[in-house]
């Protein structure tokens, strides 16, 4: 089973990450490079305002991939559903 890395978004890039608290590794790297994340880049639904996955990670998560990352303190699913 795959493991997806999820990172806590720092205040320096929070605006580029649509105000999300956690993002997958791919979105995190994109934001660090200066790009702004767009809603069409996300696999998560709008009702989840805590975390976001890119389309590739969303597909893996839907197929049963586990999440791991820094500052993940709740042992509950971060996502209600993915596309």
For 5-32, the pLDDT digits (tens) are: 888 888 888 899 888 888 999 999 999 9
Please tell me the predicted confidence (pLDDT) of residue 81: 62
CA pair distance 7, 37, nearest whole angstrom: 15
- Measured CA distances, 20 to 1, 2, 75 (Å): 26, 23, 18
Band of the pLDDT at 35, cuts 50, 70, 90?
very high
36 SS3 class: coil
Say whether 1 sits in a helix, a strand or coil: coil
The pLDDT, as a whole number, for residue 76 is 45
Domain ranges of the chain: 3-69
For CA atoms 25, 52, 70, 17, the dihedral sign is positive
């Amino acid at each position: 089973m795959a493991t997806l890395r999820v990172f806590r978004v720092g205040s320096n890039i929070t605006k580029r990450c649509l105000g999300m608290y956690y993002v997958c590794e791919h979105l995190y790297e994109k934001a660090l490079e200066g790009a702004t994340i767009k809603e069409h880049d996300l696999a998560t639904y709008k009702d989840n305002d805590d975390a976001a996955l890119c389309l590739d990670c969303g597909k893996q998560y839907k197929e049963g991939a586990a999440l791991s990352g820094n500052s993940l303190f709740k042992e509950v699913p971060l996502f209600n559903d993915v596309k």
